[in-house]
Amino acid sequence: MPNQHLQLLTKTCSATPSQTLNPKLPATTCPRRYYGLLAQRFCYLKREYQEVFEDCFRRQYNLIHRLETNKLRNVAKFFGHLLATDAVSWGVLQNVVLTEDATTSSARIFIKILFQVRTSCSF
């Protein structure tokens, strides 16, 4: 499986991000570290990839209430890693409104885990 992702990375240099990435977010079911590093690498390759993952963050945050707890946790860890490594800009947090009325319990759990991962990353 890692070999397939390496091949995908080498093919993407000539293609556009929308042709190569389908951000269905494998992070909902897969280990954060592996896919986090892969996504980080994509974001460092081209600005267009960074924009794809930033858009993915916005869509995921808007639909976070639909995920079960373990998947929510994995998505938060995935994006926490991308924020910690500056693979995506902090501008993605513009969609996050922290008021009692504007957030669901799922959104609060997501934000909590996102910042826990962000602060626990050591480089």
Render pLDDT for 74-123 as a digit per residue (tens, 0 to 9). Answer: 999 999 999 999 999 999 999 899 888 888 999 999 999 999 998 886 55
Q: CA nearest 84: which of 118, 39, 35?
A: 118
- Does 20 reside within a domain? no
pTM: 0.76
Judge whether 8 lies within some domain.
no
- Does residue 108 lie in a domain region? yes
State the virtual CA torsion across 90, 95, 101, 107 in degrees, nearest 10.
-70
In this predicted structure, what is the pLDDT of residue 11? 47
**Quick check: is 58 in a domain?**
yes
The CA-based diameter of the chain, rounded to the nearest angstrom, is: 46
Please state the domain count of the chain: 1
Task: Write the pLDDT tens digit of every residue in 24-46.
Answer: 555 454 555 678 889 999 999 99
Q: Residue 56 is part of which domain span?
A: 28-120
34: in domain: yes
Instruction: Kindly state whether residue 82 falls inside one of the protein's structural domains.
Output: yes
Confidence of residue 14 (pLDDT cuts 50, 70, 90): very low
